[in-house]
Amino acid sequence: MAASRRDFLKIAGVSSAGAVAFGGCMIPARDMKVESPTRIPEDLVTGRDNWYATAGTRGNGIIVRVMEGRALKVEGNPDHPVNQGKSNAWDQALVQLLYHPDRYQRPMRLNGARGSGSYSDLSWNDALAQAAEAIRGATGGRLVLMTPPLSGPSLVAVEAFVRAFGGSHLTLDLNDDAVYRAAVQRVFGADVLPDYDLPRANTVLSIGADWLGAWGNPVRQGIGYGQFRQGKATRGYLIHIDSRFSVTAANADEYIPCRPGTEGLVALSIAHALIAGNFGDRGVYPSGGAQALAAFSGNQVAQQTGVPAERITAIAQRLGQNGPAVVIGGGSAGAHTNGLFNLVQILNLNILLGAVGAPGGVRLNPAPPTIPNVQSPFRSGASSFTTWQGEMIRLRQVGSNAVVLVYNANPVFALPPSLGVRDVLLNAGRVISFSTLPDETSELADLILPSHSPLEEWGVEAPAAPPGFQVVTFKQPVVNRVFDTRQFGDTILDLMRAIGGEVVRSVPFPTIRDGARLFAQPLFDRRAGSVTADSFDLFLNGVQQRGGWWSTTTTQAATPRPVGFASAPEPARIAGDDSYPFFLQPFMSPTLGSPEGAQLPWLQQTPDPVTTMAWGTWVEINRRVANQLGVKEGDVVVVESPNGRIEAPVYINYGTPDWTVAIPVGNGHTAGGRWQKGVGVNPIGILADLTDQQTGALAWAATKVRLTRTGRSVPLSKLEGYVPAVQLEHAEALKITNKDS
Amino acid sequence: MAENKRWGMVVDLDRCSGCQACVVACQAENNVPLNTQDIVLQARSIQWIRVERYWSGIDQNDPTKVKAGYLPVMCVQCTNAPCEPVCPVYAAYHNQEGLNVQVYNRCVGTRYCANNCPYHARYFNYWEREWPEPLNFQLNPDVTVRSKGIMEKCTFCVQRIRRAERRAKFEGRTVRDQEFTTACAQACPTGALVFGNLADPTSLVSQLAKDPRHYRLLEHLGTDPGVYHLKKVDPNYHGEESGH
């Protein structure tokens, strides 16, 4: 007879560890529902729980509620200075990643042809032995490891491993904003991304960066936005310039569409208007004053940018007169062949406005703490697209001698097919996956050594954009492992031991958990910051309980820098001639914008804020364009670029500019878990492989497309329609006032 | 805090960015069933809190005038709740703390309550919902999993209310303002959602409810909702000021 839920609780109750290992013994679903027929939910007596702090997404600190060894709920860590107790859909959905039924559950070996999906189980000992055998001779540049950007001890282990074989480590992150990082370096001279003091700003101008959507850290920016709007005496005013009607555009007081690739010109014309109006910090005016930028006056560039000159003047007046003002640039503005040019001009406006280091402006960040004997302890962004291109060319030459290792990176899906990643993997000698969930890349693996999900891992991270001072987040497992998986870094260390020789001695710790101790030591030695203790063990307990260590005194003073506006325009190259009339603007939504977004039902089913669409891919065009094409909502259209074609239904987004076709990224998988595979289409498949000239980042907003009707129509899975899209006059729900209260 | 309780919420539409953190947090806390694609297509998805998006300023010749406004809507816990008197089995009833409570074990699925709710805040389980193992490990043991044929809706996270009240009782005190909050409000990055006791004039939620921007959804129906919305501010709004 199966144990009832009550029996189970008795068993669990005698466990003193607090965390109970389930292994193969799962609670039958029916037993979850047993309850007294007379019990009223509000009278339910709740059990005891424990909360464990660890790292969430995008530099957030989270706490996880654990009962009887199960992780139930993620909340923001109220102590953590980045997200201050708040969280978003991605953080919340980490428990679904932990308990995803389609996770790789144990090591496996391929039986048939590569990609056949026929695997048989292996023990960890056999899997490690076979992987070590495959890797042992892969020296001289034959080995390549593909991962997301790593951090802390895992990064140290991986770098040592790759170095030992003379191989390469490629990193991939769909949300990586390499051009923005380069622009921050160029304009502010900072290696760490800055923090924007939104709560104290009175005017925010953002260009390209969907900072209320999926760009940067939307939780931290969301906290700032709430205070910017209603947290002080004067309500903040938001102007957003973008080639697409995004979440930030939807929330802006003024949304101004601009032609893709001209964002730098827009910034220069605003700079011209600021100087002409005698606004901002006159001490940094370029020699020659406004005349130096006369070629970029609103009138001169309006034709190219699509932004009327009078709006440029109005923006400059508001920025100049309604300070503190801050300017944010990133996202689509940097996703062009002139991406760095665009972002440098945009971020330079902050220097012109005197916003760097000022209240309500740009807060520069210090470098993360140094760790003795560790060269680059924390993440430093993803590999550039040109790096990937170069490596793929090289690997094609290496051919069947190549050994490709992949961990939670899915380049077959996330990079344009012209790169040929799939062919490289199909022709490689060995492909070994360490991924948590199946996907297009992992399905080509010969061996699978599955890794833990983030809630089962040890680790140390530093946020990409700290809150103005040093922050180190400590990761710890909040429950025992759910399946027979191992932490990726530990698997790499095990492989190094199995291979033997000098390799393993280059890593100063035997496990990632020990590595976390190593990272904690120099923080303990400081005897300062958010956690101090008499002994190291107490200190380690402290940082793990609080979710990390931070020191509000480790700030970075802003040093005066000259404003470096360009003297000549740098036009964007666009793929597609005049027969392709629309600019394709792929975008990340706040729901599907995490790497595993499409795998998790909560993120698939949650409506995109602007369109209310869920579960699928859609094509956003405005009403006028739809009328011209003769299509209505739900009509399937062919979206064709010089590089390929996809089909998806139309959604009428009233704010979309005439020249834009916007398509969300995340769906369109041909492999993966049950909630991912076969849903929607992938716009990355039709992107041209243009890159930013200076950083080598993919210019993902630089492809033009044309639309043609298919004559077919499908119902759209969306929230809109459950309630009317436009309010009824007699029953107005959303009310608006112009009172600045 | 006074012992008198009227749990309520303030939703500041000027802070809300529509990010959907509240929606997923609620799903996670309250064992809300998965809304698979076929369910969404049938408009039968269950979201105890949903973020409605309204277009305004639609001008075919000028997309720059278009605005999208966000309106989080959950059960507004009416004092004069239209859902309650129509339930033939008293599954929907009013408790002492101002909550419209749903007793799942009494519900026989007539759907009269949903039919009578002007806020579309009640959701019916048309199917036996499943959480493929081990996804069910995430289910919150404090919250009943509803089965097919049962009506469900926002409870203001009643399990959190009870937990806080019990803790306060053990410690010989009353529940403190902002000592706990609902899952949606706890997640909300912008601070648009604030939960608390409207019967306590010193509580944060009572203070915010006095904001000149306040209104309540479909107030003219006389339902006396326990949720106050604060109007979105549009400095460029030139229409008639709406409201009562």
User: Where in chain A are the domains?
Assistant: 5-98, 102-176+381-451+486-507, 195-363, 582-713
Q: Which residues does chain A have within 8 Å of residue B34's beta carbon, measured at their own beta carbons?
A: 601-602, 605
| Residue of chain B minimizing CA distance to A32 | B145
Task: Give just the sign of the alpha carbon dihedral A24, A25, A30, A32.
Answer: negative
User: Cα–Cα distances in Å, from A721 out to A605, A613, B34, B114?
Assistant: 16, 11, 20, 17
At A16 the pLDDT is 35
| Rounded Cα–Cα distance for residues A518 and A224 (Å) | 34
Contacts of A44 (CB under 8 A, 6+ apart): B142, B143, B144, B159, B162
CATH architecture of B7-230: 2-Layer Sandwich (3.30)
CB < 8 Å from B in window 402-461 of A: none
Residues 61-80 of chain A whose Cβ lies under 8 A from any Cβ of chain B: 67-68, 70-76
* Whole-number Å distance between alpha carbons of A674 and A600: 9
Residue A156 in contact with residue A169, Cβ under 8 Å? no
Q: Which segments in chain B show pLDDT lower than 50?
A: 1-2, 242-244
Say which amino acid occupies B161: I
- Domain positions in chain B are 7-230
Q: How many residues does chain B have?
A: 244
Between CA A342 and CA A261 the distance in angstroms is 8
Nearest-Å Rg of the Cα atoms of chain B is 19
Report pLDDT for B59: 75
Interchain contact, B55 vs A616, CB within 8 Å: no
Contact A740 B43 (CB under 8 A): no
Q: How far is A629 from chain B (nearest CA, A)?
A: 15
State in words which class domain A102-176+381-451+486-507 has.
Answer: alpha beta
Report the pLDDT value the prediction gives residue A174, as an integer from 0 to 100: 85
Q: How far apart are CA A458 and CA A631, in angstroms?
A: 52
What's A195-363's CATH class? alpha beta
Say whether A92 and B28 touch across the interface (CB within 8 A).
yes
Contact A411, A421 (CB under 8 A): yes
Q: Is A649 on the interface with B (CB under 8 A)?
A: no
Residues in B touching A225 (Cβ below 8 Å) = 15, 17, 189-190
Give yes or no for A29 touching B (CB within 8 A): yes
Q: Taking a C-beta distance cutoff of 8 angstroms, is the pair A222, A344 a contact? A: no
Low-confidence ranges of chain A (pLDDT < 50): 1-37, 741
Chain B residue with minimal CA distance to A33? Answer: B145
Q: What is the least distance, in Å, from the CA of B85 to any CA of chain A?
A: 18
Alpha carbon of B158: minimum distance to chain A alpha carbons (Å) = 6
Q: Three-class SS of residue B170?
A: helix
Report chain A's C-alpha Rg in angstroms.
26
Look up residue B79 and give its two tokens. 């004092």
Q: Are A213 and A608 in contact (CB under 8 A)?
A: no
Chain length of chain A: 741
Handedness of CA A90, A93, A96, A98 (dihedral sign): positive
B233 vs A111, A237, A737, B237, CA distance in Å? 62, 10, 5, 8
Contacts of B60 (CB under 8 A, 6+ apart): A623, A624, A627
Two tokens, residue A353:
């406005």
Question: Which chain A residues are closer than 8 Å to B95 by Cβ?
Answer: 42
Q: In angstroms, rounded to a whole number, what is the distance separating the alpha carbons of residues B182 and B196?
A: 9
Mark yes or no for CB contact A741/B233 under 8 Å: yes
Query: Cα separation of A626 and A610, whole Å?
Result: 18
What CATH architecture is A5-98?
Single Sheet (2.20)
CA dihedral A221, A227, A229, A234 (to 10 degrees): -140
CB neighbours of residue A626 within 10 Å? 21
Give dist(CA A138, CA A165) in Å, integer.
Answer: 7
| Partner residue facing B66 (CB), from A74, A603, A654 | A654
Chain B contact for A227, CB < 8 A?
yes
B162 interface with A at CB cutoff 8 Å = yes
Domain A582-713, what fold?
Barwin-like endoglucanases (2.40.40)
The pLDDT value given to residue A5: 43
- As a whole number of angstroms, the distance between CA A327 and CA A206 comes to 6
Residue type, A253: D
Give CA–CA dist A651/A660, Å, rounded: 13
Asked whether the beta carbons of residue B235 and residue A738 sit closer than 8 angstroms, the reply is yes
Cβ pair A643, A686 in contact under 8 A: yes
Quick one: closest CA in B to A680, which residue? B37
B146-182 pLDDT tens trace? 999 999 999 999 999 999 999 999 999 999 999 999 9
Query: Is B152 near chain A, with CB under 8 Å?
Result: no
Q: What is the interface pTM, i.e. ipTM, of the complex? A: 0.96
Cis ω before A466 (30° cut-off from 0): no
- Distance between CA B165 and CA B160 in Å, rounded? 8
Q: What are phi and psi of B202, to 5 degrees?
A: -90, -5
Q: Convert the pLDDT of each residue in B208-233 to its tens digit.
A: 999 999 999 999 999 999 999 999 99
Q: Percent of chain B having pLDDT more than 90?
A: 88
